[in-house]
Structures are given as structure tokens and as C-alpha cells.
Amino acid sequence: MAELSLIDISKSFDGKQILERISLSVSDAEFVSIVGPSGSGKSTLFHLIGGLLEPDSGDIYLDGERLNGKRGTISYMPQTPSLMPWRTVLDNVVLGAELIGRKNGKKAIEMLAKAGLAGYEEAYPNQLSGGMKQRVAFIRSMLSPQSFICLDEPFSALDEFTRLDMQQWLLSMWEDHRRSILFVTHNIEEALFLSDRVIVLSSGPARVKADFTIPFPRPRKESVVLSQEFLEWKKTIYQELQVIT
Ligand SMILES: Nc1ncnc2c1ncn2[C@@H]1O[C@H](COP(=O)(O)OP(=O)(O)OP(=O)(O)O)[C@@H](O)[C@H]1O
Ligand SMILES: [Mg+2]
């Protein structure tokens, strides 16, 4: 079980309000994306959920337990991959699992290979490209034991082909294991292809502008992005993002 709810979350920095009464929920095994203008406060929202920051007001609950200011309960992939430079690729991806004494080297090696990183297990982060670092951080968050995962633009540094591959891979993994995922992206197509729901944030301060349920059946095939219905959805979300609040 992993059900997240945010209730009336507000946050200011230096007197400037960034988030205003954000309420949203993610049900067990649901895939929810957040899209919103750059600087609107998406990463801040994740820092609050991850307990790195505390809200000025409002509450965060995971399965009924209050999470405000509490770390370690969710698996969180930050926007800038924070790999440990003194650990190899393999030692970095098993980190989350290792912290609770459940290291699974075989699975880690398999996942690295699927992400095109075979042969890099013993490399160090400074020997990797930006996109490779992102994939390592992504695998680390997928391997950590928590049942709720927050991913902050995990594929933004990847070229289009690798991005599509990683999306497919994420979907197949998620369809097998069904963990709850909250996903931030700038890419509307990516949000539509992956998600059960897409939440649109406004900016200055951020509020929930829209919460769409995406009806494409699962398992989803890549070809869904070419359908007329998909195009209609893209328009709807673009329009929602463009309307001045
Ligand atoms: N620790 C902090 N102290 C002061 N201001 C901050 C802090 N963290 C974020 N901000 C400000 O809060 C606002 C929202 O930042 P945030 O990183 O959450 O945006 P974002 O939606 O994730 O943007 P992007 O899409 O570019 O990643 C920005 O104006 C940023 O300057
Ligand atoms: Mg961000």
C-alpha cells in the first residue's frame, strides 16, 4: 500500500509565496504526473514530500501517517542526479537497498544492462555523461525498497531515442510491480504516455489548475502517441498550461 495525500500545502521562500494551498492525492499503484511552468515549484513540492523541507502550512500523509519533515519514507530521484563520486556505478545503484540491508546485486546488474550501462558497473560517476548519470540515479530510485517513488524529470538529459526506451522500460517495470509514482516532467507527451492522471500547476504562486484522468488503456503501446485522441489530449494540456492564471 502506498497512498499519498497533500492537503493545503503552502510554502514561501524569503517572503515570496511559491506554493499556495496545493492539495492532491496519489492512490495505491497509481502513476501521476505533474506538469507546470519552470520555476513554479515542482521540485519544491518534492522536497516537501521527501521531508527535506517542511511546509509553512498544510499536511502530507502517506498511508495515513503524517510525513511533514520526515525523510527516508519515499524513494526520491532529485532533478540533479546526486551520485556519490567515491562509489562505483554498481555501488551507487544499490545504495537505497543497502541502507536497509537488502542489496540485490544481480537485479542491479540486469537493470544497468537494460539501461545501456553494461560494462560501466565499476566506473565512477565522473567517468559518465550527464544522461548516463541520470540513468544510474533512476535505477537507484527504482531499486530502493520504498513503495512510493517521486521522480523529478528523470529523463530530461536523454536524447529522444534513449528517452523513449527509458519510458517504455519504466512502463513495463511499473506494469509488473505497480508501485505508486509521482512524476515531474516538462514533456507533455511523456506525461500523457505514462500516466493515469496529469496534474497541471499554475505559477506565481503554484496552485493545482487541472487534474486530468488519462483514459488510454493499459498495457500501453508506443503507437498510442500517434492516435487522434492522443493529439487532442496534447492540445488540452498545452492550452491549460498557456492560459494565464
Ligand atoms: N531553498 C530555496 N530557497 C529560496 N528559494 C528557493 C529555494 N528552492 C527553490 N526556490 C525558489 O522557488 C521557486 C520554485 O523552484 P523549483 O525548483 O521548485 O521550481 P520547478 O518548478 O522545479 O522548476 P524547474 O521546472 O525549472 O525545475 C523558484 O523561484 C526558486 O528560485
Ligand atoms: Mg524542478
- Give yes or no for a contact between 60 and 9, defined as CB atoms under 8 angstroms apart: yes
Angle made by CA atoms 114, 116, 117, in degrees to the nearest 5? 105
42 C-beta closer than 6 A to ligand 1? yes
88 C-beta closer than 6 A to ligand 1? no
49 C-beta closer than 6 A to ligand 1? no
Q: For ligand 1, atom 14, which residue shows the shortest CA distance?
A: 41
- The amino acid at residue 113 is A
Directed axis angle between helix 130-143 and helix 105-114, to 10°? 140
E strands of 14-115, at which residues? 16-26, 31-35, 57-62, 65-66, 75-77
Supply the pLDDT for residue 49. 96
Identify the three-state secondary structure at position 61: strand
pTM of the full predicted structure? 0.92
Supply the pLDDT for residue 210. 96
Supply the pLDDT for residue 99. 65
Supply the pLDDT for residue 11. 98
> Quick one: which atom of ligand 1 is closest to the CA of 14?
4
What is the sign of the dihedral through the CA atoms of 81, 82, 83 and 85?
Answer: positive
Query: Chunked in runs of 10, what are the mean pLDDT values of the chain (245 residues)?
Result: 95 97 97 95 96 97 95 88 90 78 78 91 94 90 89 90 88 85 95 97 94 95 94 96 71
